[in-house]
Amino acid sequence: MNALKKLFGGNTRQFGMIFALVALIVFFEIFTEGRTLTSGNVINLFNGNSYILILAIGMVLVIIAGHIDLSVGSVAAFVGVCVSLFIRDWGVPWYIGVLLGLGLGVLIGAWQGFWVAYVGIPAFIVTLSGMLIFRGANQFVGKSNTIPVPGDFQYIGSGYLPEFGPSTGYNNPTMLIGLLAVAFVIFSEIRSRRKANALGAEVPEAWVMVLKLVLICGAILYATYLFATGRPGTSFPVPGLILAVLILVYGFISSKTVIGRHIYAVGGNRHAAELSGVQSKKVNFLVMMNMSLLAGLAGMIFVGRSTASGPFDGVGWELDAIAAVFIGGAAVTGGVGTVIGSIIGGLVMAVLNNGLQLLGVGADLTQIIKGLVLLIAVAFDVYNKTQGKKSIIGLMMKNFSRSNEIKADETTSTKEVISTGA
Amino acid sequence: MTSLNTHSDPIILEMRSITKEFPGVKALSEVSLRVKAGEIHAICGENGAGKSTLMKVLSGVYPFGTYTGDIVYQSQVQEFKDIRASEAAGIVIIHQELALIPELSIMENIFLGNEPTKRGVINWAEARLRSTELLARVGLREDPDTPIKEIGVGKQQLVEIAKALNKSVKLLILDEPTAALNESDSQHLLDLMLGLKGRGITSIIISHKLNEIEQIADEITIIRDGKAIETLNVKADGVDEDRIIKGMVGRTLESRFPDHEPKIGDVLFEVKDWNVGHPQIQDRLVCKNSSFFVRRGEIVGFAGLMGAGRTELARSVFGRSYGRYLSGHVYKDGKELQLKSVRQAIDAGLGYVTEDRKSLGLNLLDDIKATTVSANLRKISKHYVVDADKEFSVAEEYRKSLRTKAPSVEEGVAKLSGGNQQKVVLAKWMFTDPDVLILDEPTRGIDVGAKYEIYGIIQKLANEGKAVIVISSELPELLGLSDRIYTIFEGAITGVLNKGEASQESLMKLMTSTRKTASPSGTIQELAELPGNKD
C-alpha cells in the first residue's frame, strides 16, 4: 500500500481518491447497466472534460504556490474568441491561430502575474478583476456573437488519431500509444527501483511492485482497448492526447525541476524559501503566467470542440478546476498538491457528472451531489489531520498489507532512537 | 472573600512553588513570588529564564491544572481558567506585543470586550466620557476617536494601560513595556507607573532595562533557569545594576564546549557604517552605523538582548532580507560586494542560519533531502532538472557526517527533534559551501547533548577557514564558543571584547548601556530620504 501511495504522491487524500474513482466507475457501471464503460462514453468523457483537466494542471501549480486563479474561464473565453477572429477575419491558418492564442495567453498571464508578484496584490483580487475584464473583453471583441471556426481548427478539440497500418479491427495509433505507455511505466518503475537499490534507499518488496505494475498496466490496457474499439473513425481523442502530454510535462516540471521545487518552497514557507535564495516574485509571476497560457489552450480546445466561440464560453470553469485540485489533495494554505492528484480529482468530478447524466439525474441534483463530494473529500482530510489518524481507506487497507506491520515497528524504533539520542 | 482581610494583609499576591512543564522542558521549577500590595515589583532574568511563563501562569493564559503550586491572590487561592477569570479578579497583563486592533479607534479599543451598553446597544456617549477621563489619567492627550494605527507605540502602550484601568485593575503586569519605546516615552511610562502606585495599584514589571528597574522598583525577584534565585529589596539592600546582573548570570560555566584551537587568519568579511531603517516605521533605525569584521577561521559572537537588532543586522547584510537598506558597505577579501538579494548573498559565499527554525528556516512540508539541497539546487541539477540520485546521496552524506537522527533522508523535517532539525538546516547551508556563515541562535530550543554536537560543527567550519558569526542570547554559549564578541544595544554596536577579557558581567553591561549609541535624530531623518528606502 505504501508503494502505491508513493506512486501517486504519497498523499492520503489522493490515494483515497484513486479508490473513490475506481469505486465510482464500478458503481456507475453497475447502475447504468454497462453504459459507463463503453467506448463511446469514455471517449465522450475525455473530450468533454479535457479542457477542465488542463486548467486543473495550471491551477494546482497556482494553488501549490499559495494563490488562486478565478479568471481562467474568462481568459479561456477571451483567447477563444480572439483566435476565432484571427482565423475568420485575418485569414491566418489554424496553426498560426493556435500560436497566436498561446501568445495571447502568455500576455494575459504576464499582466496578472505582474500584479500578483511585483505589486503584491492578492491573486484572489487580481484574478477576480481578470474574470470581469476578460469576460467583458470576450463579449466586446466578439460583439456577443457566435463565431464559427473552420474544420481543421476543430481537430484540436474533437479530432481523432488517423488510421494507419494493417487493418486489425482496432485503431492502430491508439493501440501503439497504449503499449508505449505500458512499456514506459514498467521501464521507469524498474529503473527507479534499481537506482534506489544502488543508493541503499528502502524499496518495497518485489510482490508489491509487481502487483502495482499489474494494476496500473491492466488499467492502461483496458482503457486502450476501450478507446481503440469505438465506432470506426474514432480513437483516443486529440484533446486527450494533448492532456496526456501536458500531464507528463507538468508532472515532470513540478516534481523534477528546479522551478518545480521553488514553487513548492514558496507555497510551503515563503520566508524560508526567500532566505534560501529563491526568487519568490519570479516564481509567483511564472505560475500566474503559466495558468493563463493553459487557460488559453483550454479555451481553444473548447472552441474547437464546440465548432464556434461564444460569449458564454468557460463560465464556471474556474470552480471546476479549483474543485478538482482540492479533491486531488492540495492544501488551501499552499505547498501541497500534485499534478496527477489534481487530474484524479478532476476525473472523479467528471465521472460523477457523466454517470449521473447517464442515470438521468437532473442538473440540479448533480450540482448538489458534486458540491457535497467536494466538501466531504476535503472535510475528511481535515478531520484526519486534526485527529492524527489515517484515512478510513488507509485503515481498511491495513488488513491487506503485510508491510504495514513492519512499518509500525520501524516508526516506534525510530522514536526510541530520537529520544535516547536527544 | 473577606474584604477586611484584604486590607490588613500587605501581601497582595503570593505564588507558591509554581512548577510548569512543557513536553521535555521544565520551564518553571518550584518558583515562589511574594508581591506586597501597592509596590512595584520587578522580575529580572535572562531570555528564556521563565519570566513570561510565570506571568502567563498568573494571568490564566496557562489555566489552573496545567501547572502545580498555588496562586494566592488577595488571601484566596485562585484557580484561573482563562484570562477573563484573572481579569475579573483585577489582574491585567499587558504583553510585549500590544493587543490592540489597529483599525479601531482609541475609545473602541479601550472598551473592546467590555462595552458600556444600554439594553444591548453600545452607549457611545458614556464610552466617550469615560475614555476621556481614562486618557487624562494616563496622561495621553489624543482624541478618543483617533485610530490606533495613527498613534505611536508609546501612546499605544498608554492606551493599553487605560484599558486596564477601565477594568478596575488591582494588579497590573507589564511585560517589557519599554522595549519598543524611545527614551522620553519610556520615561513617561515609568512616571505613570509611579503615579499608579500612588493610587494604590500594584505593578509587576518585566524588563531588560536594568536602569529603569533600579529607578522605579521597590523589590526585585531574579529568575534564572526556571528557578527564583532571590528577592532583593531595592532600598534596604542597596541594589544597583551590577548587583542585578550578578544575580541574573550567576550560574557557573560547565564544560559544555568541545576543545578548540582557533586558527585565525586575515580579515575575510567586513561590514562598514551599516544603516538600516525599520521596514514599516519611517524614521526608526534598526541598525545604526554598525561596523564589524570577521577573520578567517574566527568565530565571532554577537551579544545583545532580544530586540537589540542582532537579527536585523544579520538579515540586512544577508541580501537585504530585512528592513530598508539606507547606507553601508560590505567587503569580502577586501573587495566590496553588492548584495541586493539573498541569491546574490549566497552566490557571494554567505550563509545565514535563521533564528526561528520553524517559521523562517524550514519548509515543514519538506523531507530531509529536499531541505538539505534547497539552498543550492543548482549544484545537483543539470539543465534545471534536479538529479534525484545526487540529492539523495548528498543528503545521506550530511545525515551521516552530522549524525542526524532520522530513519532516512525521506523523513519529513516536521517529525524531527529541534536538534536534528537544526542539523538539517546546518547541512543545507554547509552544502552551499559558504565562506561566511552567520548562525542566529543556533542552539535555541535544543537540548544539551545536541548543543555540544552543534558547537563541534561550528568549530569545524571555522577550522576550515570560514568566517563564522554566532548570534546568541545565551552568554555562556557566546563566551564558550567565540574568539571575539561584539555587543549590540538598540541597533548600535556598543563594544567588542576578546575572548580573554569578556565575562558575563562585562557583556551584560555593554548590552544594556546606551554608551556609544549612534547619531542624533537629525541624521536619521536625512538617511530616510535617501533612495532605495522602498522595500
Query: For residue range B431-457, what is the model confidence (pLDDT) as tens digits?
Result: 999 999 999 989 876 766 678 888 999
Q: Which residue of A has its CA nearest to B349?
A: A277
Q: What is this structure's pTM?
A: 0.76
Contact with chain A for residue B384, Cβ under 8 A: yes
User: Which of B365, B378, B405 faces A421 most closely, judged by CB atoms?
Assistant: B405
Whether the Cβ atoms of residue A74 and residue A132 lie closer than 8 Å to each other: yes
Nearest Cα of chain B lies from the Cα of A254 at a distance, in angstroms, of 10
Per-position pLDDT tens, chain B of length 535? 444 444 444 889 999 999 988 765 678 889 999 999 999 999 988 766 788 889 989 988 889 888 999 999 988 899 999 888 898 899 999 887 778 888 899 999 998 888 888 888 888 888 899 999 999 988 888 899 999 888 888 888 889 999 988 888 999 999 888 877 777 788 888 999 999 998 889 999 998 778 888 889 999 999 888 888 889 888 888 887 778 877 877 654 445 678 788 888 999 999 999 999 988 877 888 899 999 999 999 999 999 877 788 999 999 999 988 888 999 999 999 999 999 999 999 999 999 999 888 888 888 888 999 999 999 998 999 888 998 888 999 999 999 998 888 888 888 888 887 788 999 999 999 999 999 999 998 987 676 667 888 899 999 999 999 999 999 887 888 998 999 999 998 889 999 999 888 888 888 888 887 644 433 333 333 333 333 333 3
Q: pLDDT grade, residue A262 (50/70/90)? A: very high
Cα(B462)–Cα(B296) distance, rounded to whole angstroms? 7
Report the complex ipTM. Answer: 0.76
Contact with chain A for residue B37, Cβ under 8 A: no
Q: What is the pLDDT of residues A348-395, one digit of tens each?
A: 999 999 999 999 999 899 999 999 988 988 887 777 666 544 443 333
Whether the Cβ atoms of residue B175 and residue B93 lie closer than 8 Å to each other: yes
User: Of A63, A197, A257, A275, which to mutate for an interface test with B (greatest number of B Cβ within 10 Å)?
Assistant: A275
Cα(B508)–Cα(B299) distance, rounded to whole angstroms? 20
Helices (DSSP H) in B79-123: which residue ranges? 83-88, 106-110
Query: What's the rounded mean pLDDT across residues A196-202?
Result: 73
Q: Is A264's CB within 8 Å of B363's CB? A: yes
Q: Whose CA is closest to B51, among B17, B27, B68? A: B27
Beta strands B202-206 and B171-175 are parallel
| Alpha carbon distances (Å) from A278 to A73, A129, A403, B311, B359 | 31, 28, 38, 20, 16
Q: Is B386's CB within 8 Å of A258's CB? A: yes
Cα(B302)–Cα(B265) distance, rounded to whole angstroms? 20
Q: pLDDT grade, residue A111 (50/70/90)? A: very high
User: Which of B360, B366, B408 faces A202 most closely, judged by CB atoms?
Assistant: B408
Contact with chain A for residue B361, Cβ under 8 A: yes
φ and ψ of B325, to 5 deg: -65, 130
**Cα–chain center distance at A365:** 25
What pLDDT does residue B3 have?
42
Supply the range of the domain harboring residue A110: 20-159+237-415
Contact with chain A for residue B236, Cβ under 8 A: no
In CATH, what number is assigned to the domain containing residue A292?
A: 1.10.3470
Cα(A393)–Cα(B73) distance, rounded to whole angstroms? 54
Helices (DSSP H) in A232-362: which residue ranges? 238-256, 258-268, 270-274, 280-306, 317-327, 339-358
Residue A151 lies in a domain: yes
Whether the Cβ atoms of residue B209 and residue B512 lie closer than 8 Å to each other: yes
Give A201's contacts in chain B (Cβ within 8 Å).
392, 408, 410
Cα(A279)–Cα(A268) distance, rounded to whole angstroms? 14
**Cα–chain center distance at A169:** 32
What pLDDT does residue B48 have?
66
Q: Is A261's CB within 8 Å of B370's CB? A: yes
Across chain A, mean pLDDT equals 85
Residue pointed to by grid coordinates 497582595: B12
**Own/partner pairs, A384-393, CB within 8 angstroms, 24+ separation:** A384/A12, A390/A12, A391/A12, A391/A13, A391/A15, A391/A16, A392/A16, A393/A15, A393/A16, A393/A19
Whether the Cβ atoms of residue A69 and residue A320 lie closer than 8 Å to each other: no
Beta bridge partners, B385, equal A257, B382
| Alpha carbon distances (Å) from B7 to B11, B18, B40, B164, B420 | 10, 25, 18, 22, 54
Residue A178 lies in a domain: no
Cα(B320)–Cα(B228) distance, rounded to whole angstroms? 41
Q: What is the pLDDT of residues B337-355, one digit of tens each?
A: 999 999 999 999 999 999 8
Nearest Cα of chain A lies from the Cα of B524 at a distance, in angstroms, of 28
Q: What is the pLDDT of residues B91-130, one digit of tens each?
A: 999 887 778 888 899 999 998 888 888 888 888 888 899 9
Residue A306 lies in a domain: yes
What pLDDT does residue A212 have?
81
Residue A14 lies in a domain: no
Helices (DSSP H) in A114-171: which residue ranges? 123-141, 151-158
Contact with chain A for residue B14, Cβ under 8 A: no
- Helix A39-64 with A339-358: angle, nearest 10 deg: 140
Q: CA-CA-CA-CA torsion for B306, B311, B313, B317, nearest 10 degrees?
A: 180
Instruction: Report the Cα–Cα distance between both ends of chain A, in Å, rounded.
Output: 32
User: Which of B375, B396, B408 faces A277 most closely, judged by CB atoms?
Assistant: B375
SS3 at position A116? helix
Burial B433-470 (b: 16+ CB within 10 A, else e): ebbbbbbbbbbbbbeeebbbbbbebbbebbeeebbbbb
pLDDT above 70: residue A269 = yes
What pLDDT does residue B525 have?
34
Q: Which residue of B has its CA nearest to A262?
A: B374
SS3 at position A60? helix
Cα(B73)–Cα(B88) distance, rounded to whole angstroms? 12
Domains, chain B, in order of start with CATH, read 1-90+202-255 (3.40.50.300), 263-349+434-448+461-535 (3.40.50.300), 358-433 (no CATH)
| Alpha carbon distances (Å) from B386 to A262, B342, B396, B427, B458 | 11, 21, 16, 18, 29
Q: What is the spatial order of strands in the sheet that B91-94 belongs to? A: B91-94, B171-175, B202-206, B40-44, B219-224, B227-233
Q: Within a 10 A sphere around the Cβ of A369, how many other Cβ atoms?
A: 14
Cα(B138)–Cα(B115) distance, rounded to whole angstroms? 20
Q: Is A275's CB within 8 Å of B428's CB? A: no
Q: Whose CA is closest to B8, among B34, B37, B39, B32? A: B37
Whether the Cβ atoms of residue A165 and residue A153 lie closer than 8 Å to each other: no
Helices (DSSP H) in B384-472: which residue ranges? 388-401, 418-430, 448-463
Cα(B272)–Cα(B313) distance, rounded to whole angstroms? 12
Nearest Cα of chain B lies from the Cα of A123 at a distance, in angstroms, of 20
What pLDDT does residue A417 have?
33
Residue B81, Cβ density class (10 Å: 0-12 exposed, 13-18 middle, ≥19 buried) = exposed
User: Of B343, B353, B354, B363, which to mutate for an interface test with A (greatest number of A Cβ within 10 Å)?
Assistant: B363
Question: How many domains in chain A?
Answer: 1
Cα(B87)–Cα(B109) distance, rounded to whole angstroms? 16
Which residues 300-339 in chain A show a CB within 8 A of chain B?
A: 335-336
Amino acid of residue A23: A
What number of CA atoms fall less than 13 Å from residue B264's CA on the CB side?
14
Angle at B170 between CA B169 and CA B172, to 5 degrees: 75
In sequence order, which residues have a C-beta less than 8 Å from that of residue B528 and are 6 or more positions away? B277, B282, B283, B326
Q: pLDDT grade, residue A163 (50/70/90)? A: confident
Whether the Cβ atoms of residue B353 and residue B438 lie closer than 8 Å to each other: yes
Q: Within a 10 A sphere around the Cβ of A5, how many other Cβ atoms?
A: 17
Cα(B178)–Cα(B185) distance, rounded to whole angstroms? 8
Residue A308 lies in a domain: yes
Q: Which residue of B has its CA nearest to A414?
A: B407
**Cα–chain center distance at B196:** 28
Cα(A240)–Cα(A248) distance, rounded to whole angstroms? 12
- In this structure, what DSSP letter does residue B333 have? T
Cα(A35)–Cα(A168) distance, rounded to whole angstroms? 25
Of all residues in chain B, the percent with pLDDT exceeding 70 is 91
pLDDT above 90: residue A135 = yes
Contact with chain A for residue B64, Cβ under 8 A: no
Cα(A24)–Cα(A347) distance, rounded to whole angstroms? 10
Cα(B372)–Cα(B421) distance, rounded to whole angstroms? 11
Cell of A214: 499489474
User: Which of B359, B378, B407 faces A414 most closely, judged by CB atoms?
Assistant: B407
**Sign of the Cα pseudo-torsion (A352, A353, A356, A357, in order):** negative
Cell of A73: 474561464
Contact with chain A for residue B266, Cβ under 8 A: no
Instruction: Report the Cα–Cα distance between both ends of chain B, in Å, rounded.
Output: 57
Residue A58 lies in a domain: yes
- Most confident among A205-209, A291-295, A377-381, B371-375 (mean pLDDT): A291-295
Beta strands B267-277 and B68-73 are unpaired
Residue A257 lies in a domain: yes
DSSP per residue over B449-488, as a string?
Answer: HHHHHHHHHHHHHHHTT-EEEEEES-HHHHHHH-SEEEEE
Residue pointed to by grid coordinates 545583545: B304
Residue A400 lies in a domain: yes
